[in-house]
Amino acid sequence: MDIVDENFDHAQVEGTKNGMKVRDGIFLPNGVRNLSYSKCFKLRDDDIFVSSFPKSGTTWTNELVWLITHNLDYEGSQNNLEKKIIWLDPGIPTNVIDDADSPRLFKNHLPLQFLPDDIRTEKIKKIYVLRNPKDMLVSTFHFYRKLVKDEFIGEFKDLVNLFEEGKTWYGPWWSHVDSFVELPNTFIIVYEDLIKKPFETIKCLGEFLGKKLSDSQVQFLIECTSFKKMKEGESKFKSDAKHSNFFKSDLVFFRKGEIGDWKNYFDEENSRKVDAVVEKKLKFKINFIYEN
């Protein structure tokens, strides 16, 4: 898969080892190589997009969506790790996207402006994954410290400051959320709902995807996408040699998967900063769950 690298602006950003790429005022990981691919491919009516800000529960949601749309074929899901989901962010050549079998499942953290215009239409199913921003930031902090090209070397407070300024990868967070949740034919999955009321949440997700799941099927999905089960599969992901170019060997992809870990990292000042962002900058009104 040959990717033609585009030219990006570049910015030195406090807390980052190698700075960030910049396009249209949006700060991006250095691993993003070509945005024209993600913008220009032709959509199909049965395409499904799973979009989110990083570390919000995308992998969990992707697994659920794939299983629901493939008749709960758990064995098949374990044998098609690289082919089952198209990750748009780095830059996937258009011919590779065009050759993929339907229904195509796309995942991305890219802001809406870098995706095909037709994603805004009613016919395309969109799923947006949302997590309380405090736990999201803690997960982000640990994950980005284990990246090779985009290693974060700052302190946790530095990441909170970047979040407040809209300079985290793919940010600003509030405009990312607001743009996606307003799209037609969009199902919003709240990470905390998957933890606290998984049966109801997965049942509704199935209905959105056109599948009437039985109670036993929902229970199966809960069990085979549990944090423990997903954690067990992490070794397959990390054993892939090509991932050594992106992740350090001690990466923990599935770290805790719980609600409330933010209390171990936030002081009162930083907590207030995030609260202010939610209250003053996020147009989408939601009562985030911060307690388990």
Dist. CA 140–CA 168, nearest whole Å:
10
- Residue bearing tokens 């098609």: 80
Dist. CA 131–CA 98, nearest whole Å:
31
Reply yes or no on whether 109 is catalytic: yes
Catalytic, out of 10, 109, 176, 243: 109
DSSP-assigned letters across all residues of 5-57: PPP-EEE--TTBSS-EEEETTEEE-TT---SHHHHHSPP-TT-EEEEESTTSS
DSSP-assigned letters across all residues of 118-177: GGGSTTSEEEEEE--HHHHHHHHHHHHTTBSTT-B-S-HHHHHHHHHHT-STT--HHHHH
Dist. CA 167–CA 140, nearest whole Å:
13
Neighbours of 48 (CB within 10 A): 23
Q: Which residues are catalytic?
A: 109
